[in-house]
Copies of this chain bind each other. A is one copy, B any other.
Amino acid sequence: MRVTPEDLIHPVVLCGGSGTRLWPASRESFPKQFIPLVEPDRSSFQATVARLGDPALFARATVVTNSESRFIVAEQIARIGVGADIVLEPQRRDSAAAVAVAALHAAARAPGALVLILAADHAIGDTPAFLAAVREAALGARAGAVMTLGLRPTAPATAYGYIQPGEPVEGAGAARRVERFHEKPDAARAAGLIAEGALWNSGYFLFRADVMLEELRTHAPQVLAAATEALAAATRDLDFVRLDPDAFARAPQISIDYAVMERTTRAGVLPVSFPWSDIGTWDALWDASDRDRDGNAVRGRAVLRGTRDSLVHVEGEALTTVVGLEGVVVVTTPDAVLVTARDAAGEVKELVAALRAAGEPEADAHRRIYRPWGSYERIDLGTRFQVKRITVKPGGRLSLQKHHHRAEHWIVVKGTAEVTVDDVVKLVHENEAAYLPIGCVHRLANPGKIPLELIEVQVGSYTGEDDIIRIEDVYGR
């Protein structure tokens, strides 16, 4: 029997969050879904996409993200050897618009296609249980319900919304109608909700594309109209589908929960019970992590003494030590350090807002900056100079550019560089240098098969990032 698009589930991964509660590891420029937090070698985004690998169950995945994260998304899915369509939102418009686009995108392939909406930043401890739940929820979705997965609570959590299940959905296994959605409660109310049989709202949705489009038409017609136009006028940009910015901007900024789920009569929920976390805070990450017999979850170069029930997360080379503390979070990165009580970890979002208001660059930007051609990282800064380590992927090409206020010295330490200086193009090999006088038109590219690494020493009266005049760029920047 041939599998048709109608038989498969079309997964859509929403990947636009900024995750400031997990600062300083997670920042606007490289948010938490792209960082290995729970697993040592892959990000939660990669784990999410990898979970959708069974071609007998899932169609090719769609990732909805923003323009800033597009090269990270492309690189991370390439690394795990999975193909996906990448749809770019020109602005943040919350989840209703993204779900509308997802439904339209799937309906174009098959009107009755099943669509599964997933968050990119959740941890799931038992993939077979998750897949079994998706299969079972699909019964409800095929029967016309807009399904969610409702986790059986393991604690009176105040960080999640709750769902009160009602009558069974006929002919759909364990699926139930949603009786009511509850906002995040306080601890006492959470205990009461659990006693009444309420479930955690996971934020996963599973529905027939045509059903969601009907519901949007009824409950959120402006969202649907904007999404329809934004997709119809979308452009291809390299490997990305870029939604039309003007049309998309007309979508009201509203979540799918408010726009549809709390209004529709077709909401359903499947009670499930695999290990799950939205990794909403450092404390939640501690909770979701493997811990040693002292209750510590440690990642990176750290030494603990007399310390219990703590999370230590080290990025970079600095040796991090913790002595005589209980229930703390210590996060060190090359340019920012966070030390907090685990039970105050929810305040990190306000901390980051305060840092941003004070103009601290570390609030949003990482030391290592990702670009379509590779990445760079400042390694030293003086009054009239700056030193960067630059990595260029095989085939990567920086823009053709010039600077008004600085000269640059490039020393290749690995691989081979193709260096353009005004009219001359030459190859520069390991342990060779190139000099770029102030004002020259230049370009760096990696013509080789291995990554190119070089040290750039900038010398001049001003070394800011905005002293770049781009003359030509293969990445359309």
Contacts and interface: CB of A to CB of B under 8 A. Distances in A.
Interface of A: 24, 303, 305-306, 317-325, 328, 330, 332-341, 343-345, 347-348, 350-351, 354-355, 358, 360, 362, 379-385, 387, 389, 407, 409, 411, 413-414, 430-431, 433, 435, 453, 455, 457, 459-460
A355 B319 contact: yes
Contacts of A413: 382, 384-385, 457, 459
Contact of A338 (B321, B328, B354, B355): B321
A305 B354 contact: yes
Nearest to A355: B303
B340 A320 contact: no
A320 B334 CA distance: 11
Contact of A324 (B305, B330, B343): B343
A156 to B, nearest CB: 21
Given A323-B339, A344-B324, A409-B433, A389 B380 contact: yes
A322 B345 CA distance: 11
A131 to B, nearest CB: 38
A335 B317 contact: yes
Contacts of A384: 413-414, 430
A455 B460 CA distance: 14
Query: Which 9 residue pairs are nearest across A and B when measured between Cβ atoms?
Result: A324-B344, A323-B340, A385-B413, A431-B459, A324-B341, A320-B337, A411-B457, A379-B380, A319-B336
Contacts of A340: 321-325
A248 B231 CA distance: 85
Given A387-B387, A433-B409, A455-B385, A334 B319 contact: no
Contact of A382 (B318, B320, B341, B414): B414
Nearest to A23: B321
Contacts of A335: 317-319
A305 B347 contact: yes
A332 B322 CA distance: 12
A311 B458 CA distance: 37
Contacts of A358: 303
A409 B413 CA distance: 11
A339 B336 contact: no
A332 B362 CA distance: 16
Given A384-B414, A387-B387, A459 B430 contact: yes
Contacts of A389: 380, 382, 387
A231 B389 CA distance: 52
Nearest to A430: B459
A389 to B, nearest CB: 6
13 contacts: A305-B347, A305-B350, A318-B335, A319-B360, A330-B337, A330-B339, A332-B332, A332-B337, A339-B339, A379-B387, A380-B455, A430-B459, A457-B457
